[in-house]
C-alpha cells in the first residue's frame, strides 16, 4: 500500500512540547556555583499590543544562543519582561477611554501568549513589568541614594516644550522641530527639572569603550561620538563698557569662553554670547531691542534643516572685550543666534579666518578677518582668507610668540602662557550633557520628592516607598493628570510636618530599562533591587541582543546606571553587558493602490509579472522594501505566520539567508521554502528511521566508503555549526544543515550495516544540531529516535577529530595563476610529489606548449602554480 509518510503536524507537536517544557520547568534557572553561568538577554519589549516580526527575529536569535549554551553545559539564564511604562498607554487612554494600567496589562497578556507560541526557552518565573510598584519601588530607592551621593540634582535649564501636550519632550521626541505626537512647533522653555549626572562618568565611559571587545565596533564609535571629547582651553576676557571704563558691577567684569583652537587667539575679531547666556539676560533687562532679539532666536527650531538654512544673526552689545594676550586691543561683543548655551560656557571668541561660522558672521557684520594660520609653503604675505576660512593644519603667522609653530605646538604653547598669566587654562570639554529625567506624564514611575515651602525640596522617606501612582485619574484634558488630582499630591512635609506637595513629574522610561537586567537576577525580592550574591553570580549579561536604534540611548544610560550603583556601593561592577549583538530590521516591500492608499501584503496578489489588488484586480504600485511599519502597512502578523506554518518555520526563516546583523527581507517565497524544508526533514527522518538499527547498537569495527563519507559530513557539520553559532553566523549554520540533510537524504545504506549505523549516527547528530533553531521538530524526532530524555536536556555532540580531516585533497593546478585543472593527492603529500603530479596534468602540459617552467609554487593541500 501507500508508503507516503505522514505529514508533520506542527500544530499538535508544537503545542505538546511547549506544554512539556512548561510543566517540567525545563528552562528555570537556579544559581549553581558548580556550573559556569551564561546570561542571555534580548531587549525586553514595550507592550504595545501585539508582537511584530522584529520581536520574532530578536527572540529567535537569543533563543538559539540560549539553547546552544545550555547544551554546552552552561547554567543559562534567559528571562523575559515588559518595558511597561510609556506614552502610548496614555494616548490609548485618551483615544479609547481605557485606563493605561488596564491597557498595558491586557497587552502583556496577549503578547505573552504570542511569545509562548514561539517555543522560546525562557524562564517565565522571573517575568517582571516595570510599571509594577514592586519593581519601581527599588528604582525610587536607588534614585534617593543617587540624590544623596550627588548624582541626581535639580537644575534650571532650557528644554523642549510641547505647547499642546503641556509637557517636556526628550530630544528624540522632537522631529523636525515639532512634537512627534501633536505636530506642534516645539518651544524652548526654561524650567527646573531633575537631572542625573551622567557627565560625571563621561571620561570613564569613553575610555572603557575600548575594553568592550564583544560589542560591535559601530556602536562603540557612536557612543564615543556622542560623548564627544574635545581638548581645548577656557579663556577669561576682561569686559569694559563702551566708554572704556573699568570692569563693572554684577560680575559683568569677566567673560569666560571655551575654544578648541586657542592657537588662533591672535585672530580674534569679536566675541559672541548665546542668547540664553546670563549676561545677555542681564543686559536685556533694560534693552528692549535685545529682548526682541532673544525672543526671535528662541523661535528658531533646532531641526537640522532649519539650522542649516538659518542665517547667522547677532546683536551688538554695549561692551568691549580686552584681548588677554594683546594689551590695548579690544574686540566688540555680540549676542549671536548660533552660539549654544549648552556647550562649553555659552560664549565664544570669533576667529573668522579659521572657522566657517565665524567667517560668515564677520562677513555679514563687516568685522576684520585676520589670517593667523597659513598653509605650509605658501607666501604668508600673499595669503588671504577673504573668501573662505582656512581650517586645516598649517603654520602660525601674525601671532607674536606663536609664529612659525604648527597648530598643535601652538595650542600647547598658548595654553601654557594663558595659565602662567592666570587668564585661562587647558580643559577637556564633552558634548555629552546630563540626563534630563523629568517628564510631565502620568504613566511613569513617580519621582520620590516633596516640595515644601519652608524646607525646600525634600526626599520621600524610604519607609514611605513606594510612592504609588494613583489609579483614579482622568484623561479628559491634556496635561499631567497627577498635577490636577484632587488629593494625591497634597502631603505633609516629612521634615517640618507642614503642608507640602509631591513632585508630580515622573521618570523618563529609559530609567526603567537601565537596570531591569539586574532585577532579573532576583525577581520578587522585596528588601532590595537584587540579592548581592545572585547578582554577582549571574551578572554581567554575557550576550545582549537588540536593535541598533538603542546604540546610544538605552545602552549609554544602562552603562551610566551601573556606574551610579557602583558609586553608592550596591555593586562593584563597571559594565552591565559583556557581549552585545545588534540585529538588523525586518523589511517588506510596500504596496500602493492606484488611488494612493497603502496596502497590506495580503491585499495584494501576483499574477504573472503583474501585481494586483485582490479586491478590484487593479494594478498596484510596488515600492522598495522598507522596515515593517504600521503606517506603510508593509507588515506581516507573526500570529498568522505561526498559525499557518508553525513556530519552527518562522524561526528557521528568520535565521536563513540574511546575516543576522543585516536587514532581512520578508518574502512569502522565503517562508514557504522554510516550511517545505521542515516537511522534508520530517520525511527524510521518517524514511531513514525505517532502516536504521535500534538505539545503542554497537559501533561496527569497520566502515564502508559510503559510511565514512556520511560520518565525515556529520562530524564536520558539528564542528562548523558550533563555530557558526558562537560567531552569530546563523545563515551559514542553516546552510550547513541543508548540506547535511542532503547528505543524509542521498546516502545509499540499504544492505550495508556500517552505513545504516552511520545513518543513525548522522540522524542523531542532525536532530541534536537543529535543536536550537527548530526546537519542536527536533524534540519530536529525538523521541522518534528512541530517546526518553528531552532533547532540551541533552548535551551537544562532540566531533571525532579523525573525521574532520580528509585523507585525500583536491589540489588546484595553475599556470601563471590561472586554473588549468585539479589533481587528487593524499593529504600532506610532499611538495615534490605535488609538483610532479601537477606537471603531468594533461591540461597543464598543453598550456605549457613546450615551454620550461621558470618557477613552481606549491602551497600544500591547496595549489600548485607553474610560472613560465
Partner RNA sequence: GCCCGCUUGAUGGAACUGGUAGACAUAUCGGACUUAAAAUCCGAAGGCCGCGAGGCCGUGCUGGUUCGAGUCCAGCAGCGGGCACCA
Q: Answer whether 432's CB lies under 8 Å from 228's CB.
A: yes
147: its cell numbers: 540624590
Q: Does 540 sit behind a cis peptide bond, omega within 30 degrees of 0 on the bond before it?
A: yes
Task: Report if residue 490 touches RNA, rule: CB under 7 A.
Answer: no
Residue closer to RNA (CB basis): 521 or 743: 743
| Contact stretch for RNA (CB under 7 A) within 38-46, 253-261, 612-620, 690-698 | 253-261
| Contact stretch for RNA (CB under 7 A) within 140-148, 419-427, 570-578, 806-814 | 806-814
CA separation, residue 288 to residues 27, 282, 283, 340, 840 (Å): 70, 12, 10, 22, 98
- Applying CB under 7 A, among 37, 316, 729, 787 the residue interacting with RNA is 729
Binding marks (x or -) toward RNA, 677..716, rule CB under 7 A? Answer: x-xx------------------------------------
Q: Which residues contact 107 (CB under 8 A, 6 or more apart)?
A: 47, 48, 49, 50
d(CA 276, CA 296) in angstroms, rounded, equals 12
Residue closer to RNA (CB basis): 187 or 739: 739
- Applying CB under 7 A, among 156, 210, 308, 849 the residue interacting with RNA is 308
Q: Which residues contact 585 (CB under 8 A, 6 or more apart)?
A: 54, 547, 627, 628, 663, 664
Residue closer to RNA (CB basis): 84 or 405: 405
Return the residues of window 265-284 that contact RNA according to CB under 7 A.
274
d(CA 388, CA 381) in angstroms, rounded, equals 17
User: Minimal CA–CA distance to 667: which of 53, 35, 51?
Assistant: 53
Shortest approach of RNA to residue 650 CB, angstroms? 15
Shortest approach of RNA to residue 661 CB, angstroms? 9
Q: Residue 157: how many CA atoms within 13 Å on its side-chain side? A: 20
Return the residues of window 549-568 that contact RNA according to CB under 7 A.
551-552
Return the residues of window 46-65 that contact RNA according to CB under 7 A.
none
Shortest approach of RNA to residue 557 CB, angstroms? 14
- Applying CB under 7 A, among 534, 657, 753, 835 the residue interacting with RNA is 657
First to last CA, the chain: 67
- Applying CB under 7 A, among 197, 234, 261, 559 the residue interacting with RNA is 261
- Applying CB under 7 A, among 15, 184, 310, 612 the residue interacting with RNA is 310
CA separation, residue 323 to residues 329, 331, 398, 469, 575 (Å): 6, 7, 15, 57, 46
| Contact stretch for RNA (CB under 7 A) within 40-48, 392-400, 411-419, 729-737 | 729-737
Return the residues of window 376-435 that contact RNA according to CB under 7 A.
429, 431
Number of residues that bind RNA (CB under 7 A): 84
Question: What is the side-by-side order of every strand in the sheet holding 167-169?
Answer: 167-169, 152-162, 187-196, 435-436
Shortest approach of RNA to residue 729 CB, angstroms? 7
Shortest approach of RNA to residue 482 CB, angstroms? 30
Residue closer to RNA (CB basis): 38 or 258: 258
Q: What's 45's DSSP letter?
A: P
Residue closer to RNA (CB basis): 383 or 430: 430
Helix (H) or strand (E) holding 14: helix 10-24
Return the residues of window 532-551 that contact RNA according to CB under 7 A.
548, 551
Task: Report if residue 670 touches RNA, rule: CB under 7 A.
Answer: yes
Residue closer to RNA (CB basis): 208 or 431: 431
Task: Report if residue 847 touches RNA, rule: CB under 7 A.
Answer: yes
d(CA 320, CA 601) in angstroms, rounded, equals 67
Q: Answer whether 517's CB lies under 8 Å from 41's CB.
A: yes
Residue closer to RNA (CB basis): 699 or 818: 818
Return the residues of window 430-469 that contact RNA according to CB under 7 A.
431
CA separation, residue 204 to residues 146, 209, 320 (Å): 18, 9, 40
- Applying CB under 7 A, among 409, 492, 810, 827 the residue interacting with RNA is 810
Task: Report if residue 818 touches RNA, rule: CB under 7 A.
Answer: yes
Residue closer to RNA (CB basis): 21 or 645: 645
Q: What's 619's DSSP letter?
A: B
| Contact stretch for RNA (CB under 7 A) within 325-333, 630-638, 687-695, 727-735 | 727-735
Q: What's 691's DSSP letter?
A: T
Shortest approach of RNA to residue 727 CB, angstroms? 9
Per DSSP, what are the bridge partners of residue 492? 499
Residue closer to RNA (CB basis): 87 or 741: 741
Return the residues of window 312-331 that contact RNA according to CB under 7 A.
312
Shortest approach of RNA to residue 776 CB, angstroms? 19
Backbone dihedral region for residue 221 (phi beyond 0: left; psi -120 to 50: alpha; all else: beta): alpha
Residue closer to RNA (CB basis): 84 or 219: 219
d(CA 62, CA 119) in angstroms, rounded, equals 12
Rounded to 5 degrees, what angle do the CA atoms 515, 82, 198 make?
Answer: 30
d(CA 297, CA 137) in angstroms, rounded, equals 42
Task: Report if residue 663 touches RNA, rule: CB under 7 A.
Answer: yes
Q: Residue 253: how many CA atoms within 13 Å on its side-chain side? A: 6
d(CA 754, CA 652) in angstroms, rounded, equals 32
Residue closer to RNA (CB basis): 181 or 627: 627
| Contact stretch for RNA (CB under 7 A) within 152-160, 179-187, 512-520, 674-682 | 674-682
Return the residues of window 744-783 that contact RNA according to CB under 7 A.
745-746
Backbone φ and ψ of 112, nearest 5°? -65, -40
Which SS3 state, helix, strand or coil, does residue 42 take? strand
Task: Report if residue 822 touches RNA, rule: CB under 7 A.
Answer: yes
Q: Answer whether 613's CB lies under 8 Å from 599's CB.
A: yes
Backbone φ and ψ of 825, nearest 5°? -135, 150
- C-alpha 304, offset from chain centre: 23
Task: Report if residue 166 touches RNA, rule: CB under 7 A.
Answer: no
Q: Does 346 sit behind a cis peptide bond, omega within 30 degrees of 0 on the bond before it?
A: no
- How do 347-350 and 174-175 pair as beta strands? unpaired
Binding marks (x or -) toward RNA, 340..369, rule CB under 7 A? Answer: xxxxx-x-x------x-x------------
Residue closer to RNA (CB basis): 132 or 657: 657
d(CA 520, CA 479) in angstroms, rounded, equals 34
| Contact stretch for RNA (CB under 7 A) within 317-325, 435-443, 740-748, 773-781 | 740-748
CA separation, residue 472 to residues 17, 100, 442, 482, 484 (Å): 43, 11, 11, 10, 11
Task: Report if residue 222 touches RNA, rule: CB under 7 A.
Answer: yes
Binding marks (x or -) toward RNA, 610..639, rule CB under 7 A? Answer: ------------------------------
| Contact stretch for RNA (CB under 7 A) within 47-55, 58-66, 301-309, 373-381 | 301-309
- How do 490-492 and 499-502 pair as beta strands? antiparallel
Task: Report if residue 9 touches RNA, rule: CB under 7 A.
Answer: no
Helix (H) or strand (E) holding 137: helix 133-148
Task: Report if residue 221 touches RNA, rule: CB under 7 A.
Answer: yes
Task: Report if residue 812 touches RNA, rule: CB under 7 A.
Answer: yes
| Contact stretch for RNA (CB under 7 A) within 159-167, 296-304, 393-401, 638-646 | 296-304
| Contact stretch for RNA (CB under 7 A) within 217-225, 382-390, 527-535, 688-696 | 217-225
Amino acid at each position: 500500500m501507500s508508503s507516503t509518510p505522514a505529514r508533520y503536524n506542527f500544530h499538535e507537536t508544537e503545542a505538546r512540547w511547549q506544554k512539556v517544557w512548561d510543566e517540567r520547568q525545563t528552562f528555570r534557572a537556579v544559581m549553581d556555583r558548580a556550573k559556569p553561568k551564561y546570561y542571555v538577554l534580548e531587549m525586553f519589549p514595550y507592550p504595545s499590543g501585539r508582537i511584530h516580526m522584529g520581536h520574532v527575529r530578536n527572540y529567535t536569535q537569543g533563543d538559539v544562543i540560549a539553547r546552544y549554551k545550555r547544551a554546552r553545559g552552561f547554567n543559562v539564564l534567559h528571562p523575559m519582561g515588559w518595558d511597561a511604562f510609556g506614552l502610548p498607554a496614555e494616548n490609548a487612554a485618551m483615544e479609547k477611554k481605557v485606563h493605561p494600567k488596564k491597557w498595558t496589562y491586557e497587552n502583556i497578556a496577549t503578547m505573552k501568549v504570542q511569545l509562548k507560541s514561539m517555543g522560546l526557552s525562557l524562564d517565565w518565573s522571573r517575568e517582571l513589568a516595570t510599571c509594577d510598584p514592586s519593581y519601581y519601588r527599588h528604582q525610587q530607592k536607588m534614585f534617593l541614594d543617587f540624590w544623596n551621593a550627588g548624582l541626581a540634582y535639580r537644575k534650571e535649564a532650557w528644554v523642549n516644550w510641547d505647547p499642546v501636550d503641556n509637557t517636556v519632550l526628550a530630544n528624540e521626541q522632537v522631529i523636525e522641530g515639532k512634537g512627534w505626537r501633536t505636530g506642534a512647533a516645539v518651544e524652548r522653555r526654561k524650567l527646573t527639572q531633575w537631572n542625573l549626572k551622567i557627565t560625571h562618568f563621561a571620561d570613564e565611559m569613553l575610555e572603557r569603550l575600548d575594553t568592550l571587545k564583544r560589542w560591535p565596533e559601530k556602536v562603540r564609535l557612536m557612543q564615543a561620538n556622542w560623548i564627544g571629547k574635545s581638548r581645548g582651553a577656557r579663556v577669561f576676557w576682561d569686559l569694559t563698557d563702551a566708554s572704556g571704563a573699568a570692569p563693572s558691577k554684577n560680575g559683568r567684569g569677566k567673560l569666560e569662553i571655551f575654544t578648541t583652537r586657542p592657537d588662533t587667539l591672535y585672530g580674534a575679531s569679536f566675541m559672541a554670547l548665546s542668547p540664553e547666556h546670563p549676561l545677555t539676560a542681564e543686559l536685556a533687562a533694560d534693552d528692549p531691542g535685545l529682548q526682541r532679539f532673544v525672543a526671535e532666536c528662541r523661535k528658531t527650531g533646532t531641526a537640522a534643516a532649519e539650522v542649516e538654512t538659518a542665517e547667522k544673526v547677532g546683536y551688538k552689545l554695549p561692551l568691549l572685550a580686552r584681548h588677554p594676550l594683546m594689551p590695548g586691543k579690544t574686540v566688540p561683543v555680540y549676542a549671536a543666534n548660533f552660539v549654544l548655551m549648552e556647550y562649553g560656557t555659552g560664549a565664544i571668541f570669533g576667529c573668522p579666518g579659521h572657522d566657517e561660522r565665524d567667517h560668515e558672521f564677520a562677513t555679514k557684520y563687516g568685522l576684520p578677518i585676520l589670517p593667523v594660520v597659513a598653509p605650509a609653503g605658501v607666501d604668508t604675505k600673499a595669503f588671504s582668507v577673504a573668501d573662505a576660512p582656512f581650517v586645516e593644519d598649517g603654520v602660525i603667522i601674525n601671532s607674536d610668540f606663536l609664529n612659525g609653530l604648527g597648530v598643535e605646538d601652538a595650542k600647547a604653547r598658548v595654553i601654557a602662557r594663558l595659565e602662567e598669566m592666570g587668564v585661562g587654562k587647558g580643559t577637556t570639554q564633552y558634548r555629552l550633557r546630563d540626563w534630563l529625567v523629568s517628564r510631565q506624564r502620568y504613566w511613569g514611575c513617580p519621582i520620590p520628592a516633596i516640595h515644601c515651602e519652608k524646607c525646600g525640596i525634600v526626599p520621600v522617606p524610604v519607609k514611605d516607598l513606594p510612592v504609588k501612582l494613583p489609579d483614579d485619574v482622568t484623561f479628559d484634558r491634556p496635561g499631567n493628570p497627577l498635577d490636577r488630582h484632587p488629593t494625591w499630591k497634597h502631603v505633609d512635609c516629612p521634615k517640618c510636618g507642614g503642608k507640602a506637595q509631591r513632585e508630580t513629574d515622573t521618570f523618563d522610561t529609559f530609567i526603567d530599562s537601565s537596570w531591569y537586567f539586574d532585577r532579573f537576577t532576583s525577581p520578587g525580592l522585596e528588601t532590595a533591587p537584587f540579592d548581592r550574591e545572585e547578582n554577582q553570580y549571574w551578572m554581567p549579561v554575557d550576550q545582549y541582543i537588540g536593535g541598533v536604534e538603542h546604540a546610544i540611548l538605552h545602552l549609554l544610560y544602562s552603562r551610566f546606571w551601573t556606574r551610579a550603583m557602583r558609586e553608592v556601593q550596591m555593586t562593584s561592577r563597571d559594565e552591565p553587558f559583556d557581549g552585545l549583538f545588534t540585529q538588523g530590521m525586518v523589511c517588506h516591500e510596500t504596496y500602493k493602490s492606484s488611488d494612493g492608499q497603502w496596502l497590506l501584503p495580503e491585499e495584494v496578489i501576483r499574477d504573472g509579472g503583474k501585481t494586483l489588488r485582490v479586491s478590484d484586480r487593479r494594478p498596484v504600485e510596488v515600492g522598495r522594501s522598507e522596515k515593517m511599519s504600521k503606517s506603510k502597512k508593509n507588515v506581516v502578523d507573526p500570529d498568522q505566520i505561526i498559525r499557518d506554518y508553525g513556530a519552527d518555520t518562522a524561526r528557521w526563516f528568520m535565521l536563513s539567508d540574511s546575516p543576522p546583523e543585516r536587514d532581512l527581507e520578508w518574502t512569502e517565497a522565503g517562508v514557504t521554502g522554510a516550511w517545505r524544508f521542515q516537511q522534508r526533514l520530517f520525511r527524510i527522518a521518517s524514511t531513514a528511521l525505517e532502516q536504521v538499527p535500534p538505539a545503542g547498537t554497537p559501533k561496527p569495527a569497520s566502515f564502508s566508503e559510503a559510511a565514512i563519507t556520511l560520518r565525515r559530513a556529520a562530524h564536520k557539520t558539528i564542528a562548523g555549526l558550533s563555530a557558526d553559532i558562537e560567531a552569530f553566523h546563523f545563515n551559514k549554520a542553516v546552510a550547513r544543515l541543508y548540506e547535511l540533510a542532503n547528505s543524509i537524504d542521498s546516502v545509499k545504506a540499504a544492505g550495508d550495516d556500517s552505513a545504516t549505523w552511520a545513518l543513525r549516527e548522522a540522524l542523531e547528530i542532525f536532530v541534536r544540531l537543529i535543536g536550537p533553531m527548530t526546537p519542536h521538530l527536533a524534540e519530536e524526532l529525538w523521541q522518534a529516535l528512541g530517546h526518553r530524555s528531552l532533547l532540551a536536556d541533552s548535551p551537544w555532540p562532540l566531533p571525532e577529530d579523525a573525521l574532520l580531516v580528509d585523507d585525500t585533497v583536491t589540489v588546484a593546478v595553475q599556470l601563471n595563476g590561472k586554473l588549468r585543472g585539479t589533481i587528487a593527492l593524499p593529504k600532506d603529500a610532499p611538495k615534490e610529489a605535488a609538483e610532479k603530479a601537477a606537471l603531468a596534468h594533461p591540461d597543464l602540459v598543453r598550456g605549457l606548449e613546450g615551454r620550461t617552467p621558470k618557477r613552481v609554487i606549491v602551497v600544500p593541500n591547496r595549489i600548485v602554480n607553474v610560472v613560465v
